[in-house]
Structure 1
Amino acid sequence: MTKSISLALRLSAAFGAAAVLAGCSMGGLFGGGNAAQTQTLQNATATPAAVAQAQTNALPAIATQCPPIRVRPGSEAMFYYGGGRTGDAKALQYQGVIDESSRNCVVSNGLITVNMGVVGRVLLGPQGNQTSVNAPIRFAVERDGQAVFSEKYTIPVAIAAPARSAEFVKVIENVAIPYLGGEEITIWVGFDTRG
């Protein structure tokens, strides 16, 4: 048997085995069931009682996808101006920006447990002379458009002269989100300058 035929047979056997395994593991997730039952599930909405029941009875699951983390539109930056001159670049005392966000998840017993974090910077403007600035960061989690977690954190950021900027990091651990399967879950982060 030539080398090329032998290689082709091995590749074909490997792809065949992968297809069989994929079919076994995915079949129940992607259909193949009773059409009426599928329609009922598609139109179902989870009540708080159903979520509580799922938390206690759900079997451990493998985390195949962690919910995305996004910066909430409009909260990517914060600006502080002196003398009430909002929007005047020459009066800017400082601004904050979000550089990166990240998360990781574990799914087990009807819960997604999330660790989430953000890295950002505070930069002094032309009128800035602060040595410390508080960065108000909010983390929130939405499931099917409903908030299931929302918490604001005030992060002190020290700016040591002669530097005109400083980085901050905030990590939140072990946020538990009830999970039935199929919900649309989004993690949001951003500056929250409201009082």
Structure 2
Amino acid sequence: MMIFTPLALRLTAAAATAVLLAGCSMGSMFGGGSAAQTQTLQNATATPAALAQAQSSALPAIATECPPIRVRPGSEAMFYYGSGKTGDPKALQYQGVIDESTRNCVVSNGLITVNMGVTGRILLGPQGKQSSVNAPIRFAVERDGQAIFSEKYTVPVAFVDPARSADFVKVVDNVAIPYLGGESIVIWVGFDTRN
């Protein structure tokens, strides 16, 4: 009389399964189908209607990736001094800083439609007596190093006594960027104090 241990039973079951699988035909899975099937697939061509349908449902590669938004170096802060005393901390009237930037995108028919936004603060300095300040914010989009969108916005920022700082938010909606595929696209934001 033979006694089977649990390990022996598992090994026997595994061997039986291997024998069963060996008997299965895997020809179609690895290209070993009939000669007629192989010939049909080799000579298959898509009809113009099938190509048009595939192209209309295909999305550009960037469909899963919104272009990055970055604060342009040198434009992350602004400082305003009075009476030509630039650089003197005691003469500072106000300064602005960018805290956060964000964007979201929708891709359709070769266009990336972007909504982009920025938040920041204006802080009054030792000489600051303003009740409001206009923050000059520029959004720009570059494709392969060339500007395809650039707009400067004046964002009013009001101070409520006794506060010496105030937050601001600016959102720009529905900026359409043509996209063919493979381009390098970057969204820039920052203070633009040039007149």
Query: Which of the two has higher C-alpha Rg?
Result: 2
Question: Using a 3 Å threshold, how does the CA distance of structure 1 residues 58 and 168 change in structure 2: closer, same or farther?
Answer: farther
Secondary structure of the residue aligned to 2:64 is: coil
Q: Which sections of structure 1, spanning at least 5 residues, go unmatched?
A: 1-56
| Counterpart Cα distance in 2 of 1:140 and 1:58 | 30
Instruction: Quote the offset at 1:59 in angstroms.
Output: 5.7
Q: Contact 1:137/1:190 (CA < 8 Å) preserved in 2?
A: yes
Q: Distance in 2 between matches of 1:153 and 1:193?
A: 11
**2:170 maps to what in 1?**
170
Partner of 2:124: 124
Q: Which 5+ residue runs of structure 2 have no aligned equivalent?
A: 1-54
1:180 matches 2:180: yes
Amino acid across the alignment from 1:139: F
Q: CA RMSD in A?
A: 1.6
Report the equivalent of 1:144.
144
User: Which has the higher mean CA deviation after the structures are superposed, 58-67 or 161-170?
Assistant: 58-67
SS at structure 2 position matched to 1:162: coil
The 5-angstrom pairing of residues 2-13 of structure 1 reads none
Deviations 1:150-188 (A, max 9, x none): 000000000111000000000000000000011000000
Distance 1:64 1:88, change over 3 A: same
Query: What's the TM-score once normalised by structure 1's chain length?
Result: 0.69
Letter in 1 for 2:181: G
- 2:104 aligns with 104
Matches of 2:134 and 2:59, distance apart in 1: 39
Match of 2:59 in 1: 61
The code of the aligned residue for 2:118 comes to V
**TM-score, structure 2 length as denominator?**
0.69
Structure 1 distance, partners of 2:142, 2:58, is 22
